[in-house]
Amino acid sequence: MLHKTSQQRYEKLRVQFNRLMRHFDNEGLDDFIQTANSLRDWVQRDRTLSQHQRDEIERLAVDNSVDWQICHQIANYQKHGGPASPRRKPSSLSFVVKGAQVKPGGSAGVAFPNLAMQSFGAGDEIMIECEFDGNPISVSAHAFVFRTFQYFYYIFELGHIIPLIERAKARKNWTDILMRD
């Protein structure tokens, strides 16, 4: 195995995210989607993560999450060489990824002059074409990647801290209640 822990797998996703933020293209997008899609299973099985961290992955991976559906449907399409046949009861949400439109050298990037003209997400403009309840919609792949990475950033870099802060607040509130009189 190349990656033996969910943390190592997350580090791979972070490298892919940073690479996409420097130059956005369909090759990097495919790598990011495959890694993000696989991380759900890694997180669920990793007993070194807190229960809170493992629960958080399910907040992303719900049937009505547009970002999860985009990630999961594209990953499965790439894995199976076409649409995978559903193995479970279809959800009440009818969201289907239909394809992607790539404009090479599009205007997806932003330049920061005060940072020595570094670009953020420059490269191809990729729009993910979807259908929601029969209505066509387009989703920016750049925005999808940014939102999806935020979920994993929270799980791996903040998810273990937040419960500690919440516990400290609860302890403080409990102490305040006990010390009132």
pLDDT digits (tens, 9 = 90+) for 119-157: 555 778 899 999 998 899 999 999 999 999 999 998 898
Residue 135 has a pLDDT of: 93
Torsion over CA: 129, 28, 82, 39 (sign) = negative
Residue 176 has a pLDDT of: 55
| Two tokens, residue 107 | 């205007």
* pTM, rounded to two decimals: 0.77
Torsion over CA: 105, 109, 110, 111 (sign) = negative
Scan for tokens 């903040």, then name that residue: 158
| Two tokens, residue 33 | 């989607």
C-alpha to C-alpha distance for 118 and 22, rounded to whole angstroms: 8
- Is the pLDDT score of 50 beyond 80? yes
C-alpha to C-alpha distance for 136 and 133, rounded to whole angstroms: 8
Single-letter code of the amino acid located at 83: P
Q: What DSSP state is assigned to residue 113?
A: G
Adjacent-strand bridge partners of 140:
127
- More reliable by pLDDT, 34 or 104: 34
Torsion over CA: 43, 158, 74, 134 (sign) = positive
| Two tokens, residue 123 | 């490269």
- Is the pLDDT score of 93 beyond 50? yes
- Domains of the chain, residue spans: 6-178
